[in-house]
Amino acid sequence: MSHSSASAGAASGNSDRLLFLDALRGFDMFWIVGGAGIVRGLEKMTPSALTTGLTEQLTHVEWEGFRFYDLIFPLFLFIVGVSMVFSLQRSLPAHGPKATLLRVLRRSVLLFALGVFATGGLSKPWPEVALGGVLHRIAACYAIAAMLFVLLRRAKPLLLAAALLLLGYWALLRWVPVPDFKLEKSVVEALAAKVGSTDPARISASVSARVVGNLEEGRNLTNHFDFRFLPGKKAQGYYINEGLLSTFPAVALCLFGAVTAIGLRRQEVAPCVKLMSMMAASVAALVLGLLWSLEFPMIKRIWTSSFVLVATGFSLSLMALFYAIIEMRGWRRWCQPFVWIGCNPITLYLVSPLVGFSTVAQRLVGGDISNFLDARVAPGAGAMLVAFTGVGLLLALARFLFVRRIFLRV
């Protein structure tokens, strides 16, 4: 934790960082740290087709498809790519490529360590320690994308690198064969008993049949790659949603963000041209992603290339919207709570499960207060109050950190 005026400078326009970027980051984090609970509470209080539809959009699709909640993590990675360029463009002239890359490596290792802590740390003995998750993936994507940016620096090579990552991942999943068995408990345990070992390599080798191009959960290359090579605890039993192989298409999101940042940094280009460029790129990414999904479906949990393109398109749309409203129109007061969150996203992500804002809110306004509102106002009104109180507590902490200029620098 450190004291800094960087984000405060962004809020006043005196920093190389952009207020709209902090606001967009905060908007993204808002749905993770409490916003979704408010919408669920609203559905309980006033159930309708609209509230049911909104609640559905704030849940992940089971496997194939796309909802708003599936955009949250990809949008954050896209923003990482944008922010990365502003940071590296300051560091490269001042410190040079070698020192900059060492700094990137240190930050990535620290973020990875925070990821291990966030997923349980060393509270359990090996192999129950998780080496994969949200922060782990952010660390890996940041490290790879930053190294590529330091090496390439220009938009066209970065776009080519992103395209190669997406095409390469598609080719691997379509043409590399995997053992023909599903990674579910009953099947894996039966195979383990047959070979007399729980070693993934021996279990996989015991199945001679191979399947190519299967994208079913537990039967695809991404999941089998995790089963075979990812050590430690796996959130989905034998694989995780932020696994080894699917890191590479996720890196493309950071690279698309980096290309966007290069355009935003061009002082000779008018803001309206930058806005139109983002909108055009958004449409192009959405169209390409939707067309590709006809052959390579959108599956967030294995980060298919079509999913990444569609997520990029929506990320660009939201960025263009925030840029137009905040930077071009100058309407800034409304987004201040998002800025508070956006300037301390990692801190709030780590603190939220430890503090348990919803639990604290339940202790403050739950029980008889909640029951009274359910009985006298509307069913679900109590849950709505609890949700609002939890978000209010989180916003109070975010504002306190912002005002005191306390930011977690990773």
Q: What's the pLDDT score for residue 33?
A: 84
Cα diameter, the chain: 68
Q: Tell me how far apart the alpha carbons of residues 126 and 15 are, in angstroms, rounded to a whole number.
A: 44
Q: Tell me how far apart the alpha carbons of residues 238 and 153 are, in angstroms, rounded to a whole number.
A: 38
- Residue burial 184-201, b: 16+ Cβ < 10 Å; e: rest: eeeebeebbeeeeeeebe
Q: What's the pLDDT score for residue 410?
A: 63
Residue that is written with structure tokens 């609002």 in the block: 388
- Alpha carbon separation from 256 to 183, 259, 283, 295 (Å, rounded): 33, 5, 14, 22
The pTM assigned to this predicted structure is: 0.91
The rounded Cα 132 to chain-centroid distance in angstroms is 13
Tokens of 366: 């739950």
SS (H, E, C) 355-378: HCHHHHHHHHHCCHHHHHHHHHCC
The H-assigned helical ranges of 220-270 are 221-229, 247-264
Q: Tell me how far apart the alpha carbons of residues 167 and 386 are, in angstroms, rounded to a whole number.
A: 46
Q: Tell me how far apart the alpha carbons of residues 181 and 22 are, in angstroms, rounded to a whole number.
A: 45
For the chain, what are the domain ranges? 2-176+241-407
Q: What's the pLDDT score for residue 51?
A: 86
DSSP 161-200: HHHHHHHHHHHHHHHS-EESS--SHHHHHHHHHHHT---H
**ω before 200 within 30° of 0 (cis)?**
no
Cβ–Cβ contacts within 10 Å for residue 266, how many?
Answer: 12
Q: Tell me how far apart the alpha carbons of residues 141 and 249 are, in angstroms, rounded to a whole number.
A: 9
Low-confidence ranges of the chain (pLDDT < 50): 1-16
Q: Tell me how far apart the alpha carbons of residues 264 and 271 are, in angstroms, rounded to a whole number.
A: 8
DSSP, collapsed to helix, strand or coil, labels residue 332 as: coil
Backbone Cα Rg of the chain: 22
Dihedral angle at the C-alpha atoms of 234, 137, 27, 150, nearest 10 degrees?
Answer: 180
Residue range 325-361, pLDDT digits in tens: 999 999 999 999 999 999 999 889 888 888 888 889 8
Q: Tell me how far apart the alpha carbons of residues 213 and 68 are, in angstroms, rounded to a whole number.
A: 27
Q: What's the pLDDT score for residue 259?
A: 97
DSSP, collapsed to helix, strand or coil, labels residue 157 as: helix
Residue range 240-296, pLDDT digits in tens: 999 999 999 999 999 999 999 999 999 999 999 999 999 999 999 999 999 999 999
